[in-house]
Each structure stands twice: as structure tokens, then as C-alpha cells.
């Protein structure tokens, strides 16, 4: 008989795994006692999508938020942390980024309109991360849209960074947190200067689908608000990830500046398990959960 998540003190079953067969299940990300102490049953997690940053309203601050800038800020941050980088500082301004990196001896990364900023160590590029030694280092990242949106949503209960590369890990974590905080999940698309972009909306739809599947395995009910239903439809409207990227303006821009490597790399699904979470003091930075 299939074991339910409650038998395991609330551990989340991973998609494609047999409950009880994986050691991961015996090390739940959140302590078992934590679930025992609370007798509530999580009946429903509301799931919504902000297709553009202005769709993020003050009431979203109570949610677990997942920021998606699939081409490329989210993919770069996930790749940095997966490759041992300690913290990724996300700054909106290029001059503030220069100053912070100089002061702390951090690697300086970023772009404007896709192109590496003058004097920067690297662009906003997951493929450049792979050829640089980022292990144990701090990185300052500034991008046209992604790092601004991270700042905008920073008041949310928790902010995670998601993309195809870490989709499953990120969705599992978002569900665990939603359950822990008894709240809903909001996926926020970075978009392009506040305008809708297809690549982020498509990726948001993929994450909606992923959350539904993981929730199904764990007897957690999900309520899809209209925006999440729409994102799901967008996801199902394309035969594969590269077709959606190719149809998008961001994808076309990457190809036009010769970054087919990033275009392809960002379409890999679940190759990484790092889930960046946002912290803040006088700066905003991401560390792997």
C-alpha cells in the first residue's frame, strides 16, 4: 500500500520516487517533530503567478515567493550556488555592484541588455559560471530585470529562486515552506522592464505543473488561482522548452548576441538541487538552502 506523507512526519515525496525507498525521505528537510507538534492538516495551498512585477501586491508578502528569470538571472544564481559560490549579492545598480565587489573582493558579474558590463569579471551567464572558479567565493550580480525584481519582492515570507535547472528541488522546498508557514505560494516572473515575457511565463507554468505533481504525491490539495491556470496553459502550448525559448524575445536576444550556449543550458531540467533563498541586511543576497 502507498504510504502517505503523514506516515513520514510530513516529508515530501519526490516526483518519480517510491515512497519509503529513498534515504532522502528519512532525512526530511524540516524536522519530523516540527510536524508532530502541529496538529493542523494542510488542506489547501493556493498557488498564483505574477506575470509581471506590478502584479506583485502588498498582500503577496505573506506568501512563499519564487522568482523566475529563466533567461538568465535565475539560472545564473542557481548555477553559481550549485558550483560552490557562497553568496550571490543581487544589486540593482552597476556602480553599487562595483563598489561592493571592490570593498569585499567579490567576483563582479552582470549585464545590461544581455551584454557583459564594462570592467566586470563575467556576464549574467550560467555557462560563464561553469568556466570560472566560484567555489567558496562571494559574487555580486547586477542584471537588467532579475536583480530588481528580487529587491521588489524581498518583503515576502520567504523568497526562493527558481528555473528549469532546479525546478523539482525548488518546488519541493516551496511546498514544505508553504506547509510550515500555513500560507500560499506565489511565482513571480521577472519579465522585461515590467512587460510580459513568454520565457518566464512558460517556466512559471512548468513550475505550477511540478508543484501539482509533488502535491499529488503528498496528499496536499492545491488551489490554482486564475493566473496559475493561465501559466499552465501557456506551458502546455509549446512542444518543448527550446521551442518556447525560441518563440520568446529574450531567447531571440540571446541568440542574436551569440549566447546559444546559455539559451540551451537554461533548458536543462533538474540538473541541480540548489535552492537559493534570499537574505537581507543592508544588502540582498542569496545562499543555498
- Catalog residues that contact ligand MLT under the rule CB under 6 A: 69, 71-73, 111, 114, 124, 143-146, 190
In angstroms, what is the minimal distance from the CB of 265 to ligand MLT? 12
H helix or E strand, kind and range, residue 286:
strand 284-288
Output 129 or 177, the one with its CB closest to ligand MLT.
129
The residue behind cell 561553469 is: 130
In angstroms, what is the minimal distance from the CB of 120 to ligand MLT? 12
Strand order in the sheet with 185-189: 115-116, 107-112, 138-142, 87-90, 284-288, 276-280, 158-162, 64-68, 185-189, 44-50, 221-224
Output 109 or 277, the one with its CB closest to ligand MLT.
109
Output 115 or 269, the one with its CB closest to ligand MLT.
115
The string over 70-102, giving b where at least 16 C-beta atoms fall within 10 Å of a residue's C-beta and e elsewhere, is bbbbbbbbbbbbbbebbbbbbbbebeebbebbe
Output 73 or 169, the one with its CB closest to ligand MLT.
73
Output 35 or 51, the one with its CB closest to ligand MLT.
51
In angstroms, what is the minimal distance from the CB of 3 to ligand MLT? 41
In angstroms, what is the minimal distance from the CB of 130 to ligand MLT? 15
Report the C-alpha dihedral over residues 48, 214, 83, 123, rounded to 10 degrees.
Answer: -30
Cell of 162: 527558481
Output 167 or 190, the one with its CB closest to ligand MLT.
190
In angstroms, what is the minimal distance from the CB of 215 to ligand MLT? 29
In angstroms, what is the minimal distance from the CB of 256 to ligand MLT? 11
Question: What HEC string does 197-249 produce?
Answer: CHHHHHHHHHHHHHHHHHHHHCCCEEEECHHHHHHHHHHHCCCCHHHHHHHCH
Answer whether the bond into residue 98 is a cis peptide, omega within 30°.
no
Amino acid at each position: 500500500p502507498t504510504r502517505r506523507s503523514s506516515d513520514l512526519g510530513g516529508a515530501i515525496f519526490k516526483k518519480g520516487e517510491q515512497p519509503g525507498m529513498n534515504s532522502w525521505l528519512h532525512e526530511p528537510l524540516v524536522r519530523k517533530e516540527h510536524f508532530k507538534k502541529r496538529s493542523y492538516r494542510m488542506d489547501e495551498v493556493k498557488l498564483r503567478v505574477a506575470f509581471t512585477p506590478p502584479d506583485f501586491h502588498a498582500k503577496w508578502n505573506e506568501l512563499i515567493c519564487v522568482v523566475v528569470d529563466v533567461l538568465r538571472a535565475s539560472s545564473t544564481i542557481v548555477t553559481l550556488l550549485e558550483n560552490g559560490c557562497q553568496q550571490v549579492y543581487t544589486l540593482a545598480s552597476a556602480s553599487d555592484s562595483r563598489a561592493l565587489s571592490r570593498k569585499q573582493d567579490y567576483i563582479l558579474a552582470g549585464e545590461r541588455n544581455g551584454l557583459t558590463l564594462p570592467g566586470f569579471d563575467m556576464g549574467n551567464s550560467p555557462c560563464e559560471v561553469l568556466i570560472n572558479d566560484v567555489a567558496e567565493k562571494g559574487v555580486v550580480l547586477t542584471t537588467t530585470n532579475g536583480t530588481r525584481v528580487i529587491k521588489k519582492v524581498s518583503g515576502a515570507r520567504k523568497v526562493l529562486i527558481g528555473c528549469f535547472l532546479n525546478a523539482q528541488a525548488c518546488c519541493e522546498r516551496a511546498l514544505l515552506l508553504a506547509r510550515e508557514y500555513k500560507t500560499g505560494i506565489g511565482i513571480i516572473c521577472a519579465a522585461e522592464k515590467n512587460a510580459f515575457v513568454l520565457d518566464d511565463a512558460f517556466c512559471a507554468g512548468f513550475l505550477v505543473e511540478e508543484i501539482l505533481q509533488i502535491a499529488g504525491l503528498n496528499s496536499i490539495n492545491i488551489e490554482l488561482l486564475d493566473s496559475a491556470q493561465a501559466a499552465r496553459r501557456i506551458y502546455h502550448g509549446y512542444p518543448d522548452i527550446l521551442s518556447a525559448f525560441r518563440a520568446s524575445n529574450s531567447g531571440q536576444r540571446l541568440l542574436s548576441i551569440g549566447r546559444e550556449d546559455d539559451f540551451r543550458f537554461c533548458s536543462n531540467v533538474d540538473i541541480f538541487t540548489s535552492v537559493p533563498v534570499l537574505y537581507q541586511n543592508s544588502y540582498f543576497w542569496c545562499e543555498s538552502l
